[in-house]
């Protein structure tokens, strides 16, 4: 078991930027906060990590855009429950896009999709927002979003370096739980108050 974990640590160390890219594809916010912390700990250089996370995040968004453009309704019917997307939420997002596509694309990027991140991205594709417009607005929001979350992680890394060794593991666990709880709380609030989308 020790050898197994050593192999994982070695792999992450040897391929840290590709791993960061995959992390931002799968769970962008956590990868960004964790990456910021690792920048402060000297495991990553800021600029390469920032560009890697931004690229991964944009790649994931583009993939969801094209899912929406090509097969939004079949996807939601079959897989929506696994991603927390309902047909009602998706149809509401489509209506919002028809009126406020420019504003929604940028604002949703810097607010975790207002609790409907995947629905937002797929709705952009479903209502045929021009890809160039989608990309520019999403990239602009991503530049702000990625920088903000890396900064949050950097702050946690700074605190980590200043606490006693005996509390470091506890701090990492508490910091991770705090970030997850804040994100979950924000998303839950928006889901309970969908009128915030108007």
Across 71-90, average pLDDT = 72
- Residues of the chain with pLDDT > 70, as a percent, come to 59
| Residue 194 confidence (pLDDT) above 50 | no
Say what the pLDDT of residue 1 is. 44
Supply the pTM of this predicted model: 0.68
Confidence of residue 83 (pLDDT cuts 50, 70, 90): low
CA distance 154 to 55: 20
Confidence of residue 195 (pLDDT cuts 50, 70, 90): very low
SS3 85: coil
**Are 102 and 74 contacting, i.e. CB atoms less than 8 angstroms apart?**
no
The model's pLDDT over 118-135, given as tens digits with 9 standing for 90+, comes to: 777 877 888 788 899 889
Ranking 16-20, 41-45, 67-71, 181-185 by mean pLDDT, the lowest is 181-185
| Residue 166 confidence (pLDDT) above 80 | no
Residue position matching structure tokens 């989608």: 134
Q: Which one, of 25, 29, 87, lies nearest residue 61 by Cα? A: 25
Indicate the helix (H) or strand (E) that contains 184.
Answer: helix 168-192
Q: How far is CA 115 from CA 41, 130, 142, in A?
A: 31, 23, 16
Q: Where are the domains of the chain?
A: 2-197
CA distance 122 to 61: 9
Say what the pLDDT of residue 141 is. 86
């Amino acid at each position: 078991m020790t050898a197994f974990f050593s192999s994982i640590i070695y792999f992450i160390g040897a391929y840290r930027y590709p791993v960061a890219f995959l992390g931002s594809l799968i769970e962008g916010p956590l990868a960004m906060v964790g990456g910021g912390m690792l920048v402060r700990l000297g495991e990553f250089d800021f600029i390469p990590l920032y560009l890697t996370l931004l690229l991964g995040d944009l790649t994931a968004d583009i993939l969801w855009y094209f899912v929406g453009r090509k097969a939004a309704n079949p996807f939601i019917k079959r897989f929506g429950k696994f991603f927390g997307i309902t047909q009602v939420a998706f149809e509401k997002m489509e209506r919002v896009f028809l009126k406020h596509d420019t504003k929604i694309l940028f604002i949703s990027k810097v607010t975790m999709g207002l609790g409907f991140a995947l629905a937002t991205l797929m709705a952009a594709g479903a209502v045929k927002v021009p890809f160039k417009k989608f990309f520019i607005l999403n990239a602009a929001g991503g530049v702000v979003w990625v920088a903000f979350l890396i900064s949050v992680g950097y702050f946690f890394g700074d605190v980590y370096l200043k606490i006693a060794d005996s509390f470091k593991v506890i701090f990492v666990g508490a910091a991770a739980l705090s970030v997850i709880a804040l994100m979950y709380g924000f998303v839950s609030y928006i889901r309970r108050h969908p009128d915030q989308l108007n």
